[in-house]
Amino acid sequence: MNTQDAVKDLRALSRLINTSIDQIENEMLSRGQTYPLLSEPYSPETEEPRMAPDILAAGSIITAAAAQLIASVSIPVVSALVTSLQYEVSSSLRAAIQAHVPEILREFGNKGLHVRDIAAHTKVDPSRLGFNWETLPPQSTVVDVGSGIGSMSLELAEAFPHLNFVLQDTPATLANAMNFWSMELPEAINTDRVVLQAHDFFEAQPVKQPSVFLMRMILHDWSDDKAVNILRHLCVAAGPETQLVIVDKILSYACTEDSFVGDIPGAVVERLPPSPLLPNFGYAAVSWYLADLMLNCHNGTERTLVQFRQILEDSGWKITNVHRSEDNFSKITAAPAHLVPRNLTSELLAKL
């Protein structure tokens, strides 16, 4: 099969969807009925139009065609990941049923309810890189917290030779890091431009007043209280010029976020998907939400920007800018809350 054959299949699936939607629309008009909205509460009365045999048949065609269309355009590895994480959905449904979430939401109708307010009714815990590196002064120290072998610091060290780095992780991980750096950039190790330091980030931070604390894909492994503990140690060690750079996934809401984070420079998503798609891209981004469910089972969590702001404020930091990348990982910059934050722009943050 060549490319044209594949495109023909995509168009054929699209036509099936459109034709079936036309059929539903015509039948609803001829019968004087209204097809149920996704946002409407379920009831036998609202479902009656959908239960007619011809409407069910059209809906089955749409479902089959849409699923095949999704499978055709999705990356196979992502499809496998989504499938492997589906077991989390049944666990979440059980939790929602046991906490009587449907009954609570029914009372509030289409407006919905914030998770904190749902938790208040149920007594359930509601919690269940771009950066302007080249403007840092010569000999500035970047502390890579939870560095792993230091692959990100290697990119930075090669691109910005005026910076020094401290890689902090467990002794076993740093042994692998030494092998990695000895092969990739041995002169940085030999000249102490890059220092490997065994450190538990739940303990007091030994490096005082560095230019940058860098955290890449660290905080999603930890619950809010643990994350606040980690961040608080960094804030205590920060100096007047210290900045915190977090490289991580920022989950989006299924609604627009302007009213939640509009006061944070760079936070508002400028390129939303076309209507009527959900602002978070719905099923196209489902793997991240399934990953969040999986992390929750292990006392971790992916976070929205609202949640990032909360743990940063609770640990003494204030977000100064957000750079949302085209790739999966965004960058959050913060400064100690008691200090006047730097005026960092999104344009500067985009440089990495």
Given a cut of 60, whether residue 346 has pLDDT beyond it is: no
Question: Distance between CA 146 and CA 218 in Å, rounded?
Answer: 7
217 with 247: CB under 8 angstroms? yes
**DSSP at 319:** E
Exposed e or buried b per residue across 192-214, where buried means at least 16 C-beta atoms within 10 angstroms of its C-beta:
ebbebeebebeeebebeebbbbb
What average pLDDT score do residues 210-223 get?
Answer: 96
The dihedral sign for the CA sequence 79, 308, 197, 138: positive
Tens of pLDDT along 13-31?
999 999 999 999 999 999 9
Q: If pLDDT is split at 50, 70 and 90, which confidence band does 207 have?
A: very high
Given its phi and psi angles, is residue 209 left (phi above 0), alpha (psi -120 to 50 degrees) or beta?
left
Task: Say yes or no: 10 and 102 in one domain.
Answer: no
Examine the residue annotation and report whether 220 is marked as an active-site residue of this protein: yes
**Looking at 51, 73, 95, which one is the last position of a domain?**
73
Task: Say yes or no: 34 and 168 in one domain.
Answer: no
Task: Say yes or no: 89 and 21 in one domain.
Answer: no
Determine the pLDDT at residue 146.
98
User: Distance of CA 343 to CAs 239, 248, 266, 288, 319, Å?
Assistant: 17, 21, 12, 31, 11
Given a cut of 80, whether residue 98 has pLDDT beyond it is: no
The better pLDDT of the pair 285, 183 is held by: 183
Determine the pLDDT at residue 101.
79
CA nearest 146: which of 236, 238, 215?
215
Determine the pLDDT at residue 328.
67
What average pLDDT score do residues 108-136 get?
Answer: 70
Question: Distance between CA 14 and CA 317 in Å, rounded?
Answer: 48
| Residue 339: φ, ψ to 5° | -110, 160
CATH at residue 319: 3.40.50.150
What average pLDDT score do residues 324-336 get?
Answer: 83
Q: If pLDDT is split at 50, 70 and 90, which confidence band does 341 have?
A: very low
pLDDT over 70 for what percent of the chain?
Answer: 89
Residue type present at position 310:
Q
Given a cut of 90, whether residue 143 has pLDDT beyond it is: yes
Given a cut of 90, whether residue 117 has pLDDT beyond it is: no
**Looking at 73, 91, 106, which one is the last position of a domain?**
73
Please give the mean pLDDT across all residues of the chain: 86
Determine the pLDDT at residue 107.
75
Task: Say yes or no: 251 and 180 in one domain.
Answer: yes
Helices 224-237 & 305-314, crossing angle to 10 degrees? 50
User: Distance of CA 283 to CAs 58, 78, 110, 157, Å?
Assistant: 21, 12, 21, 38
Q: If pLDDT is split at 50, 70 and 90, which confidence band does 121 have?
A: low
Query: What range defines the domain where residue 64 resides?
Result: 1-73
Task: Say yes or no: 178 and 221 in one domain.
Answer: yes
Task: Say yes or no: 81 and 32 in one domain.
Answer: no
Question: Distance between CA 282 and CA 195 in Å, rounded?
Answer: 43
Tens of pLDDT along 234-287?
999 999 999 999 999 988 887 877 777 888 888 887 777 777 777 877 777 777
Task: Say yes or no: 104 and 181 in one domain.
Answer: no
Tens of pLDDT along 152-182?
999 999 999 999 999 999 999 999 999 999 9
Task: Say yes or no: 316 and 177 in one domain.
Answer: yes
User: Distance of CA 254 to CAs 89, 112, 263, 281, 314, Å?
Assistant: 17, 12, 19, 8, 25
**Looking at 65, 100, 125, which one is the last position of a domain?**
125
**Maximum separation of any 2 CA atoms in the chain, in Å:** 81
pLDDT over 90 for what percent of the chain?
Answer: 51
Q: How many domains does the chain have?
A: 3
Task: Say yes or no: 107 and 230 in one domain.
Answer: no
Residue type present at position 219:
L
Determine the pLDDT at residue 255.
80
Task: Say yes or no: 279 and 233 in one domain.
Answer: yes
Determine the pLDDT at residue 205.
98
Task: Say yes or no: 184 and 318 in one domain.
Answer: yes
In the numeric block, which tokens belong to residue 170? 């467990």
Tens of pLDDT along 43-79?
888 999 999 999 988 988 898 889 889 988 998 998 8
Burial class (CB in 10 A: 0-12, 13-18, 19+), 17: middle
Coil vs helix vs strand at 70: helix
Q: Which of 220, 298, 323, 338 is catalytic?
A: 220
Given a cut of 70, whether residue 126 has pLDDT beyond it is: no
Please give the helix or strand (H or E) that residue 259 lies within, else none: helix 258-261
Task: Say yes or no: 160 and 39 in one domain.
Answer: no
Coil vs helix vs strand at 20: helix
User: Which long-range contacts (C-beta less than 8 Å, at least 24 apart) are formed by 26-35?
Assistant: 27/52, 27/54, 27/55, 27/58
What average pLDDT score do residues 118-138 get?
Answer: 71
